Amino acid sequence: MKNLLGWGIVIAIALALVPGVYAQALLSDEFTGTDLASFWQVRNGDLSPWSLKDGWLVIEAGYNQNVWADDTATRFYQITDQDFDVETSMIVNYLDASTVAGIIAYSATTQDHKARDGQWVTLKLWGRGAAQDNNAVLQYQRREDDGAPGYVGTQPDYNPPQGIIPLEMRIKRTGNEYESWFKPEAQGDWVPVGKVTNELQDPLEVGIYAGIADGPGAGMMTVSYDYFKEASSPVTAVDPKHRLTVTWSALKSE
């Protein structure tokens, strides 16, 4: 009996140390250093060149990558089965293409409203190409749908032109409820976007992403993520507002 108990403890500890097997609370990251923290997993990382640079996660978005009918973007995620309150600050720089970037909570084991495996909640900046006058809109969606109660196809009074777009995003999970906010220009108070009920089955893959929905030959997009923060997970203060201002100024001068 003692041997069985001992082996049980060993197995439990081993599972806790294997990424993706044991779901846990989300961790914050300031993207310092040159190596991505070990608690992140990356999907489609070979399709979009990315690196850590001067305290930013910088993604040069690849083509044929979207988060709409399918999840094909380059996605950085952690696995959890708990409630969370996450936010991120980013600078999106895009031109002449249909692009996506934002926060997502993805469940591989939940079927969507069309009975397909895989469902999610995402707060997304959709950079639109020439067909929509080269401007961006903020969207709050589940898979291939933003018309259900609480979701938002186009956030009112927010329609920045293509180019350099700084903003902050936030999603809070409480059980099956997911509430979202954003900060235009990455400053000021949180602006409410939507609150929805979505019965996503645990574990969830929660994180950030980037992609160009168009094929090769379209324009470009670079997304620079300043941080990923979970409200209950402390991080080292680095004055993100100052860093955002410096980086934005550098991009404008290029």
Instruction: Tell me if 164 sits within 8 A of 247, measured CB to CB.
Output: no
- Taking CA atoms, 37 is separated from 6, 46, 48, 151, 213, in Å, by 31, 18, 18, 32, 28
Please identify which residue in the block is written with the tokens 């993805």: 106
Please give the model's pTM, rounded to 2 decimal places: 0.86
Rounded average pLDDT per 10-residue block, the chain, 254 residues: 44 44 83 97 98 98 98 98 98 98 98 98 98 97 97 98 98 98 97 98 98 96 98 59 52 50
Contacts of 215 (CB under 8 A, 6+ apart): 63, 64
Instruction: Tell me if 191 sits within 8 A of 181, measured CB to CB.
Output: yes
The type of residue at 13 is I
23-253 folds as Jelly Rolls (2.60.120)
Domain parsing of the chain, residue ranges: 23-253
Give φ, ψ of 169 to 5 degrees. -130, 155
pLDDT of residue 24: 86
pLDDT single digits (tens) 99-130 = 999 999 999 999 999 999 999 999 999 999 99
Nearest to 57 by CA among 77, 82, 83: 77
Q: Which residues of 72-100 are buried (b: 16+ CB within 10 A; e: fewer)?
A: bbbbbbbbbeeebbbbbbbbbbbeebbbb
pLDDT of residue 233: 73
Instruction: Tell me if 25 sits within 8 A of 11, measured CB to CB.
Output: no
